[in-house]
Amino acid sequence: MQAALPPQTDDELRSFLDDARLGLRLVDPDGRILWANGAELELAGCLERDYVGHHLGEFFVEPGAAAEMLARLAGRQGLSGFETCLRARNGTIRRVLVDGQGLFRQGRLVHSRCITRDVTSLFEREETARRRAEETSRLQEDFLALLSHELRAPLGTVLLWLGLLKQGESDADETRRAVEIMDRSARTLEQIVEDLVHASRIAAGGLTLTLERIDLVRVVQQAVDAALGDAAVAGLQLICSAGTEPIWVLGDAGRLQQAVSNLLANAVKFTPAGGRVDVCLDVRDPTARLRVSDTGEGMSSGFLPFAFGRFRQQDSTSTRAHHGLGLGLYVVRHVIEHHGGRVLAESPGPAHGSTFTVLLPLADEEAVRLRSPVEARAEAVLLRPGLKVLLVDDEDDVREALTRLLGQHGAVVVGAASAQEARVVLQGLLPDVILSDIAMPVEDGLSFIRSVRQLPPERGGRTPAAALSAYAGTEHRRQALEAGFDEHVSKPVQPPHLLAVIARMTGAPAIARRTG
C-alpha cells in the first residue's frame, strides 16, 4: 500500500488552500492584499480582481480595524480571535474572527498570513439568546409585580371589610353586603391560585385528564349558570344556545368546564355594561363546536397571534382597565389541545368584539353506548352517621371550619394540631378515616402517615387517609401517595369533592340523594 504524501507541487498546495472552507489571505506590510483563497473571496463577495491588490481597510466596517491588525502583525504580536466586521461588496456585513502571523526575514516583515472565520450565525444565535433571556427576565419582573398587585387588591378588600365588621357598628344589611364582597374577593384569590397551579402543571407537562363520556351540553350549561351572576353584576346579557339533545365527547368534565368558564370570564371582563355575550354549542361533523362571542373591546390584529400566550395581555400597562394575570386563555388552549381539539380567536379589531371557537372531536358510537360515569356521580354524598374522622392540621381556623363541615354531614371529628398530637389521639381512638395536612412544623404529614403505616391494623395502621395540602402539583401528589396516603386533596378544599373522597375511601356511601 502506497504511503500518503503531502502536496508535492505548488499547484497541489494552492489547490488545497483554495478549497479550504476558512478564509485565507496574504497581506503585505502596507496592508495590500497579495492573495486570497476562494472562501475569503466568497466572504468579501468579490472576484479576485476586485479583492487582490486592494487595501485591507476597504473591506472592514470599523475605520481603525485594519490599522490595528497591521500594527499587531508588524510588532510580532500576531492575531488570535481578533473580532471585527467585514463588509462585502454588496453591502452585507459579516461578523468575523481573524487569526494571523507575520513572516519575517532578516528582521523585516515580508508579509502576513491571515485566517478569517465567519462567525455571523454564531453571534446571531448568541444575540437572539441574549435578547430572549432579557425578555424573559423582564416578563418575570413584570409578572411578579402584576401578581403582587392582583393578590393585594382582593386581599386588601377582605381585610378592610373585616376591620369594619370588627368595629361592631354594621347593621344586618351592611354585614350581608360585607360578606358578599369578601366572598367575591376570596373567590378571586382562589381563581388566581388555580390559574397559577394549572399554568405551572401545563408548563411542566403535568396536566392530566380523566377521560370519560360526557355530555358537552351539560358542561357548557353548568359553566354558563355559574357565570350568570358575574354577567348580571357587569350589566351584560348572557345568552346560551346549546339545545337539549346531548352532544357526547370523550373528555375530562372538570377541565372542560374550567376551559369554558375561562372563556366566559374573559368575555364578561372585556365587555362593557349594556353589552352581550353569546354562547352557541352545535355539531359540525365530526366535531362539537362551541362559540363564545361578545360585543366587547375586541383585539388588534397584532395581538391575535399572542392571545393564547402565557402572561399575555393586550394592555399590560399600569393604567389598564382590567385586572388579571393573562393565564386564562393560556389554560384554555392547552386544556382543549389535550382533548385533541382546537381553539381559535377572531376579532374584527378594537371595539368590535371577539369570538372564540372551540372544536372538539365527538365520541365514537361505541363510547356513546356506555353509561357515563358523570351520570353515575350525579349524587350528593352524605357520610355515614357517626363516621369517626381524625383531622390533623396546624391551622386552627382550618380545623374549625372542616370540623363544622364534616359535623354537618354526620361525622364525629377529633382534631390534632400536630403529628405528635395525632399519634396520641390514635392511642385512644381508632378512626374510620384520617385527614392530614402536609406542611406542618416539626414533623410534616408525610412523616406522620409513614409512622401510621408502620402500626399494626388493629391500631390503625391501615386506616384510609387523605392528604389535604396547598401543594397541588403532580409531583406533590405522587409524594403523598408514595408516603402512604390513599388520596390527595388540594387546598382550598371544595366540600363536595372532600365528601366524595371520604365516601370513596370508606366504601360506597351509605346514604345518597339525587341532585338532578
| Secondary structure in 3-state letters for 352-377 | CCEEEEEEEEECCHHHHHCCCHHHHC
Q: 90 phi and psi, to 5 degrees?
A: -85, 5
Convert the pLDDT of each residue in 443-469 to its tens digit. 999 999 999 999 999 899 999 999 998
Average pLDDT score, the chain: 83
Distance between CA atoms of residues 374 and 363, nearest Å: 15
Beta pairing class for 212-215 and 33-36? unpaired
Is this prediction's pTM over 0.85?
no
Convert the pLDDT of each residue in 343-394 to its tens digit. 999 999 898 899 999 999 998 755 545 444 444 443 455 678 889 999 999 9
Q: What is the pLDDT of residue 203?
A: 62
Q: What is the pLDDT of residue 149?
A: 63
- 420: nearest Cα among 452, 386, 398, 372: 452
Cis peptide before 286 (omega within 30 of 0): yes
Compute CA 350 distance to the chain's CA centroid, rounded to the nearest angstrom. 27
Are the C-beta atoms of 264 and 225 separated by less than 8 Å?
A: no
Q: What is the pLDDT of residue 207?
A: 65
Look-up: residue for cell 354562547? Answer: 279
Q: Which helix (H) or strand (E) holds 114?
A: strand 108-118
Residue 34 has pLDDT above 50, yes or no: yes
Q: 506 phi and psi, to 5 degrees?
A: -100, 15
CA separation, residue 75 to residues 98, 101, 106 (Å): 16, 10, 14
Q: What's the whole-number mean pLDDT along residues 108-129?
A: 91
DSSP bridge pairs for 96? 84, 118
Take residue 118 and report the three cell numbers written for it.
465567519
